[in-house]
Structure 1
């Protein structure tokens, strides 16, 4: 990654409906699979999962502390991320009954996903406080600077929201694992382990949904997925001041390259269809080329 300007994203939000969606039964099956693989009994909470009294930022390098601050900002923007799904997949009378049923099935996942991502934000903020990196009142105020900024995705086809999240969740999981492997504070290591496991499950759900889009719609979703990769940027890259410089710093701490997650999208394409069409072959070549160029 390098310091660079990013084009403004202008999006007019509208609910997504119609033939571009997959059947509600497919969404329901993906949701059922997610919940079966991650029952509530395996969940964790900020208050009891860690021995906060042992947290010690003095065991971290300056770069590692910076990385913790960076990912706290990213995770804390959860209200903006959740709002995207609410606006594009609403569960109200702005959509017809068939679309509502589809969106209601998806909502079962998004509320659970949002709760888990919000727990990530709370855990990272709690670590900063317990480890002596920041006091709670100051941190709240600092996070509000970015948290108040809007978040949106420039997409029109439903598969794009899941393809984007597939890459984003996998890239986040990989970074948390790599950061965990270099930090000396075991409490932070435990936090990052919990976060990376959750991100892995979220990735699996997104991969399942993208696979179902490929099986149902085939070549019709090739161009929408290509558009996601062509313009991909991680969350807040367009809004956070100094994002690219900060991203470069955290890449020096633990290997960070979101394009490494593209290989996992290629695997999803390979597994979703028995025989790839010419368009799917071209999509795979394009994705692999983007990885090689970055």
Structure 2
């Protein structure tokens, strides 16, 4: 039971957890994220890479395939951003209290979207500069996937943050694994920059999830469990031949989203000093869902 000013508070309800955190909590999380990513640390597609040296001839066929794959995933940013706008709308139909919460989160969302869009532009530029793809053909290929709506099978904010936490960490880990086997300096530097961004995006989602756990305790368990029970990486249901492609790039560098689960467990344990039986059962369930190494 939560105690506020010496008075026992009612147990959190599903309705509580189905909403965003209070605006002050979101503001603190956003401020921490912004402080960790000042403009001086962000990279510039036009000026930070020696594009004249990009050479896909130094990549194996599997590495080329991996670059094409991650470009498709990153370039779907308009679909991801639209999902956040559906979850957290900012229009005249929104209750003022919810608008305030949504507006605080929007400060993060637009920065996150800008950084993810930079990822897409860097990978597009690499494919063209290195000779891996022709620009017009690549634009059409990206448009074929980009036109498809991105949806997720849940509707609560805490579920969305849990999903994004896992997805961002899994992506970060894959970029690090791919970087380790790449012998092409321009692509290696791109992957370094992308993995750093994904690590910070993960940290924001971890901060938000910890705040939910601290505030709502066991009421957060079911939404987290539901995400893990039904987890699929972005575009797994839309890219033609996704699973064959995913297996192929995993042969080039380890690619398994369940590698992110141990990081989710750490977030839960960090937030909960004295875990209840339900929280313990949740961490055991997440651990059991990890693929064997």
Query: Structure 1 residue runs of 4+, over 4 Å off?
Result: none
Partner of 1:19: 16
Partner of 1:273: 272
Asked if 2 retains the 8 angstrom alpha-carbon contact of 1:18 and 1:99, the reply is: no
- Structure 1 residue 60: deviation in Å? 0.3
1:73-152 alignment runs, 5 A limit: 73-152=72-151
- Structure 1 residue 40: deviation in Å? 1.4
Task: Specify the SS of the correspondent of 1:156.
Answer: coil
- Structure 1 residue 293: deviation in Å? 6.2
**How high is the TM-score relative to the length of structure 1?**
0.93
Partner of 2:192: 193
- Higher CA-based Rg: 2
Asked if 1 retains the 8 angstrom alpha-carbon contact of 2:56 and 2:132, the reply is: yes
Asked if 2 retains the 8 angstrom alpha-carbon contact of 1:214 and 1:272, the reply is: yes
Name the CA distance, whole Å, in 1 between partners of 2:238 and 2:262. Answer: 27
- 86 and 19 in structure 1: CA distance in 2 versus 1, 3 angstrom threshold: same
Asked if 1 retains the 8 angstrom alpha-carbon contact of 2:168 and 2:198, the reply is: yes
- Structure 1 residue 163: deviation in Å? 0.2
Name the CA distance, whole Å, in 2 between partners of 1:207 and 1:152. Answer: 22
Partner of 1:12: none
Name the CA distance, whole Å, in 2 between partners of 1:228 and 1:158. Answer: 12
- Structure 1 residue 156: deviation in Å? 2.1
- 292 and 176 in structure 1: CA distance in 2 versus 1, 3 angstrom threshold: closer
Partner of 1:59: 58
- Structure 1 residue 157: deviation in Å? 1.8
Name the CA distance, whole Å, in 2 between partners of 1:293 and 1:281. Answer: 21
**How high is the TM-score relative to the length of structure 2?**
0.93
Partner of 1:31: 30
- Structure 1 residue 24: deviation in Å? 1.0
Asked if 1 retains the 8 angstrom alpha-carbon contact of 2:168 and 2:202, the reply is: yes
Name the CA distance, whole Å, in 1 between partners of 2:94 and 2:232. Answer: 30
Name the CA distance, whole Å, in 2 between partners of 1:177 and 1:293. Answer: 20
Partner of 1:239: 238
Does 2:43 align with 1:44?
Answer: yes
Larger mean Cα displacement after TM superposition, 118-127 or 91-100: 91-100
Name the CA distance, whole Å, in 2 between partners of 1:257 and 1:153. Answer: 19
- Structure 1 residue 167: deviation in Å? 0.2
Partner of 2:180: 181
Task: Specify the SS of the correspondent of 2:137.
Answer: helix
* Unaligned stretches of 5+ residues in structure 2: 1-13
Name the CA distance, whole Å, in 2 between partners of 1:58 and 1:274. Answer: 52
Name the CA distance, whole Å, in 1 between partners of 2:141 and 2:156. Answer: 35
- Residue deviations 1:165-217 (CA, integer Å, cap 9, x gap): 00000000000011011011110000000000000000000000000000111
Asked if 2 retains the 8 angstrom alpha-carbon contact of 1:171 and 1:258, the reply is: yes
Task: Specify the SS of the correspondent of 1:19.
Answer: helix
Asked if 1 retains the 8 angstrom alpha-carbon contact of 2:87 and 2:155, the reply is: no
- Residue deviations 1:87-138 (CA, integer Å, cap 9, x gap): 1111112221111111001000000000000000000010000000111111
- Structure 1 residue 76: deviation in Å? 0.4
